[in-house]
Amino acid sequence: MAGFKIKKCWLLVLLACFFMLQGCRYSAQYVNRGLEKFREGDVEGAIADYTRAIKADPDNSIAYYNRGLAKQKMDDMAGAVADYSRAVEIDPTFYKAYHNRGIVRQQMGILDEALADYNKVLELDPKDAMAYYNRGTIKLEDWDYNGAIADFDQALRLNPRNAFALRCRGDAKLRIEDFDGAIADYSQAITVDPRYAIAYFNRGIVLERKREYSRAIKDYQKAAEINPRLKKEAEARIKICESQLKRK
């Protein structure tokens, strides 16, 4: 009788393992099909397949992460955060899920939580240039200009051709009145991306502050030429510069 009970227990364990393995196999198949649908632009179909994958294997962190990406694509920010949160709950080392959750939280204006996510990313992967850049943009918004510059420094050390990081570091230097440093960063951003209108415009602001009005006018004109949405503001700044030149 005791031997029968032992055999029965082992049978139940084996059955449980079998169904678990089957669930994992089906889950992986749904994830792969969801990826194909996502690549083809069928985002709703991808979400449906990722949901099936999760039903087959509730501990599939990849399925939650991919569904989070799809929800983010659909502008379902709260849903994306929930899925990324479940992914890191299952796998606390899933740094990409922390990173994407940080991006969504930043877009939602939940800056303290976004900052915590980027901190976690950099704890897990200290060479993530985009995490430094994203964290720097939050510090810049929070008026922590020196902290922002330090993060942009790290981002640029890892990726020297990040025009966005160069421009943002220039913005931080402008705030602390390091005008020469700001001009150098804006100029480098323009070297990387010659069509970077806001870098021209912001360099114009610094040149205007330095009373180099002729050079500022050229930058404002270039910014408006590249991006017509800056035209009205650029024309207003040009008039001020021209007025200052007449006084000389």
Residue 59 phi, psi (nearest 5): -105, 20
Q: 93: phi > 0 → left, psi -120 to 50 → alpha, else beta; which?
A: alpha
Taking the C-alpha atoms of residue 2 and residue 236, their distance in angstroms, rounded to an integer, is 92
What pTM, to 2 d.p., does this model score? 0.84
- Give me the residue label for tokens 């420094």: 153
Residue 39 domain flag:
yes
**Host domain of residue 8:** 1-126
DSSP 57: -
230: CB partners within 8 A, 6+ apart: 197, 198, 201, 223, 224
Look up the CATH number of the domain holding residue 119.
Answer: 1.25.40.10
**What is the identity of the amino acid at 31?**
V
33: CB partners within 8 A, 6+ apart: 49
What is the reported pLDDT for 137?
A: 98
Instruction: Provide the strand spans (E) within 82-210.
Output: none
Residue 131 domain flag:
no
Residue 37 domain flag:
yes
With beta carbons less than 8 A apart as the criterion, state whether 109 and 101 touch: no
**Predicted confidence pLDDT, tens digits, the chain (248 residues):** 444 444 444 444 333 333 343 444 666 887 889 788 988 999 999 999 999 999 989 999 999 999 999 999 999 999 999 999 999 999 999 999 999 999 999 999 999 999 999 999 999 999 999 999 999 999 999 999 999 999 999 999 999 999 999 999 999 999 999 999 999 999 999 999 999 999 999 999 999 999 999 999 999 999 999 999 999 999 999 999 999 998 86
Q: At what angle do helices 197-209 and 213-226 cross, to 10 degrees?
A: 160
Residue 204 domain flag:
no
CA-angle at 149, arms to 148 and 152, nearest 5°: 85
Residue 88 domain flag:
yes
Total domain count, the chain: 1
Residue 230 domain flag:
no
Residue 190 domain flag:
no
Radius of gyration of the chain, Cα coordinates, nearest whole angstrom? 26
Taking the C-alpha atoms of residue 231 and residue 131, their distance in angstroms, rounded to an integer, is 33
What is the reported pLDDT for 12?
A: 43
Residue 229 domain flag:
no
